Structure 1
């Protein structure tokens, strides 16, 4: 075992290293306090602590590393934090007894809970600068909250159970809509602030990549975030978990769609601006969902939302219906896109609509290889040469088949 801590991206190695009671090692790395327990026979070579741990089959040995920006409290036995962790985990993660793959579903719920801030925002990932492929330049900072992803999280919690993540998602999206209205951004920081501009750091980064922070999505308009927000708020309403602020946010999102649905946007994949079919159909799905969930006195508004959804679907069908009868990506891009399965799943159009069934068949034929599903065809190269398969697209096909 080797413990080699250096704070400040390597600028401040471990110093003032001492072995204390019961063989616990303490030291400082920059402004951080460090304690390492379970390695009494380690030695410090001026840079790192090193030891050898020999175990027989079936045995275990506890190594506990504590790092803090303030003096550490008295140490506890290793099983104490384990008990606290298990107790907190059980309190945060619902049983999810009605789901298929319950163990995996609970694990996913725990991960998303851990990625959720006190303000309710769930970051897309805890990583930055992890390239999909070495030397390809496609590495991004994902430590932000995408409104679309936040809506997915809440809708999943509403469907599977566990209202905590649903409530967090609704609280976060509602706050952003109330603050920014029709100017809703695609992504925010976990605290709800603007995402900084993308810039490179003077660090080597992951092999084959480079370190960056910020994200260029901060300057984009993505129309479908209004539709996804409505889908989320409607899911909360069905569970009687949408308060007055939530309904105000729904009105804002619906009005934004009415005002902006003919504008070009960057789309779900954050490409060039176009009249993307997925974005418009997602808005239609959101309008239909909130119309169904609206309280009875809102009959006039609900009827208007359904009419607007019909109009958006008709306009999209006029300029984004391929000659074969399936949806195409945009008026200028005749290709198929796995994301075009989602609007029918969200009931923008019926599941048995010919446009739905032909799109599903085309996605399976053109975008699936050995049961892995890709987003869209970039060019004439084999799918796997252009990029990796996309996990979300595989889930979309499974949902569409269901």
Structure 2
């Protein structure tokens, strides 16, 4: 049923579409509440997700309040969404997708009558510039004489084509039409630069077929069995959907300012490429045979970070843009009143010492998978190692982008160790050139330092910061990069301490205790899903298979019916929190499933559960 209210849907009630350039969110109620054209990081044309319908949306749903969604799913291994509605008078099927492969920025919505007759309501509210710009809208014939609805404001223009164009009413466009069994209504909303001619219509049947073929052919590169195979496949598809087709950049999420704490201020813009997240995504893709995507990201990296290593940033725009100034949009109240709404990200200027290590670990795995270095890639990696050496003594903001005091974060120091370790192996194992003796010396020195200052002997645990007493979920990365074995006594002690400090009442793992004040923000956030997936991996590699499976089942169960995961989950509220869908959550799911799958195969082969696992490739 259509709903004329001010509140956005619950996060888990949204579906993602993608054309590998941008990603709209469609609610279960039939409303497109978030869409940035033409890129993920462009200003929104539909911004109701962070405000109300007055900030832009496109609603298409049965008019009768008694109508219900019977089923909603993607067509097989695609991002073509189908929603079946049942109304008192009949049933309709709505198919929605973004054409892929034609470089056309458009959204297609098809309504087909399955049974009886259903009255369908349409409401189109276009607001460019994050809901601030009211366009000039007019009906006019296109160059072929077909009537279209045209909206223009500044550099942006939208054209709506279809069998049922809405009419103007109070700065929006509304309409109602009836669809009977066997009938079909098609609508296409296309963006284009306003200085260019209005784009012609498309053959929707052919475009739908091509889009289904694209996603299905891409997913055919994945072939794995096991309990979590479907969840892994959808996660890999999400990671692909968040990758820009042309640049190879991978956004952390297609949204901004979905709150980590409802009503709170932990609201950040994730529509950018974090080196860390993208590097981990590269690893997940490599593990499952998507080498072309990995090479595409490496090429993006080379372009983005080229130049003086001192100018290295932790994140960039989709094309490698560096200017990501953080600003607040005061006109938007935020999701469920969670303000401020932010665009840009102030963390772009932070020093996070772990990032170079994350990148070099990913590129090492690309080498192991057969990716050849060229005249640019290895010299750049050497420069990044030099950057790490130059900043060896510097404190940083840490993996969680702390906005408090700079510190020596143990995870950051371990990833610096990993940077030198990868550099050493590049020379020793792959025949590349570099000052390997110097790197070996630095690696050994960091190892000794970490064990001395990052491990609390009295508490038998690694700590979040040097000399501290608190743990941090990022410490689960220590065995993933080979610093210690998963079953090392120091790791087992650390996990035991985490279980005491960071597990919430529902068995999910917090990143750290926000009430400690270490992040410089007001306390309060929900469990970060990637951390709990890391714990699954740790359990799987240390003989705790029952614990690993139980936690994995819980986590996979937190996805919506479309297989999408958010950044965090509020178990006490039974709902998703944070930006959505979140690449970090999905890539961590892939790692956890691979760990369970790998240790299961080893167990079956040996007849016993192995205790020690190796870092995944």
User: Which bracket does the TM-score occupy, shorter chain normalised?
Assistant: 0.7 to 0.9
1:38 and 2:171 aligned: no
Q: 1:11 aligns with which of 130, 133, 144?
A: 133
User: 3-state SS of the aligned residue for 2:307?
Assistant: helix
The answer (yes or no) to whether the contact 2:260–2:267 under 8 Å persists in 1 is yes
The answer (yes or no) to whether the contact 1:321–1:328 under 8 Å persists in 2 is yes
Q: How does 1:13-92 map to 2 (within 5 A)?
A: 13=135, 15-18=137-140, 25-30=148-153, 31-39=156-164, 42-45=166-169, 47-54=171-178, 61-69=185-193, 70-92=196-218
The answer (yes or no) to whether the contact 1:146–1:187 under 8 Å persists in 2 is yes
The answer (yes or no) to whether the contact 1:99–1:160 under 8 Å persists in 2 is no
Match of 1:210 in 2: 340
Match of 1:129 in 2: 257
Q: Structure 2: how far apart are the matches of 1:297 and 1:343?
A: 26
After TM superposition, the structure 1 stretch with the greater mean CA deviation from structure 2, 300-309 or 55-64, is 55-64
Match of 1:398 in 2: 536
Give the superposition deviation at 1:357: 1.5
User: 3-state SS of the aligned residue for 1:65?
Assistant: strand
The answer (yes or no) to whether the contact 1:6–1:14 under 8 Å persists in 2 is no
**1:284-338 deviation digits (Å, cap 9, x = unpaired):** 2333244334445458845543443232121011112122221001124310111
Q: How does 1:259-274 map to 2 (within 5 A)?
A: 259-271=390-402, 272-274=405-407
User: 3-state SS of the aligned residue for 1:368?
Assistant: coil
Q: Which runs of 5+ in 1 are unaligned?
A: none
User: 3-state SS of the aligned residue for 2:189?
Assistant: strand
- Tell me: CA distance 1:193–1:361, structure 2 relative to 1, closer, same or farther (3 Å): same
RMSD after superposition: 3.0
- Tell me: CA distance 1:150–1:50, structure 2 relative to 1, closer, same or farther (3 Å): same
**1:12-54 deviation digits (Å, cap 9, x = unpaired):** 34522258999964233335141231326x5443633333355
- Tell me: CA distance 1:296–1:242, structure 2 relative to 1, closer, same or farther (3 Å): closer
The answer (yes or no) to whether the contact 2:159–2:189 under 8 Å persists in 1 is yes
Q: Structure 2: how far apart are the matches of 1:160 and 1:109?
A: 9
Give the superposition deviation at 1:60: 6.7
Which structure's residues are more often strand, by fraction?
2
Give the superposition deviation at 1:223: 0.7
The answer (yes or no) to whether the contact 2:361–2:418 under 8 Å persists in 1 is yes
User: 3-state SS of the aligned residue for 1:386?
Assistant: coil
User: 3-state SS of the aligned residue for 1:379?
Assistant: helix
Which structure's residues are more often helix, by fraction?
1
The answer (yes or no) to whether the contact 1:185–1:218 under 8 Å persists in 2 is yes
User: 3-state SS of the aligned residue for 1:175?
Assistant: helix
Give the superposition deviation at 1:234: 0.3
Match of 1:97 in 2: 223
Give the superposition deviation at 1:354: 1.2
The answer (yes or no) to whether the contact 1:23–1:37 under 8 Å persists in 2 is no
Match of 1:333 in 2: 468
Q: Structure 2: how far apart are the matches of 1:105 and 1:68?
A: 35
- Tell me: CA distance 1:99–1:172, structure 2 relative to 1, closer, same or farther (3 Å): farther
Question: Larger relative CO (CA 8 A, sep 6+): 1 or 2?
Answer: 2
Match of 1:318 in 2: 452
Give the superposition deviation at 1:106: 3.5
1:355 and 2:490 aligned: yes
Match of 1:309 in 2: 443
1:166 and 2:166 aligned: no
The answer (yes or no) to whether the contact 1:254–1:287 under 8 Å persists in 2 is yes
Q: Structure 1: how far apart are the matches of 2:175 and 2:145?
A: 15
The answer (yes or no) to whether the contact 1:182–1:253 under 8 Å persists in 2 is no
Match of 2:119 in 1: none
User: 3-state SS of the aligned residue for 2:460?
Assistant: coil
Count of aligned residue pairs for this structure pair: 398
Q: Structure 1: how far apart are the matches of 2:286 and 2:451?
A: 30
User: 3-state SS of the aligned residue for 1:52?
Assistant: strand
The answer (yes or no) to whether the contact 2:256–2:269 under 8 Å persists in 1 is yes
The answer (yes or no) to whether the contact 2:161–2:188 under 8 Å persists in 1 is yes
After TM superposition, the structure 1 stretch with the greater mean CA deviation from structure 2, 15-24 or 126-135, is 15-24
Give the superposition deviation at 1:61: 4.9
1:152 and 2:290 aligned: no
Match of 2:8 in 1: none
Q: Structure 2: how far apart are the matches of 1:136 and 1:267?
A: 22
Q: Structure 2: how far apart are the matches of 1:165 and 1:103?
A: 20
Give the superposition deviation at 1:261: 2.3
User: 3-state SS of the aligned residue for 2:479?
Assistant: helix
Give the superposition deviation at 1:222: 0.8
- Tell me: CA distance 1:131–1:95, structure 2 relative to 1, closer, same or farther (3 Å): same
Q: Structure 1: how far apart are the matches of 2:225 and 2:423?
A: 25
Q: Give TM-score scaled by structure 1 length.
A: 0.87
Q: 1:288 aligns with which of 412, 421, 428?
A: 421
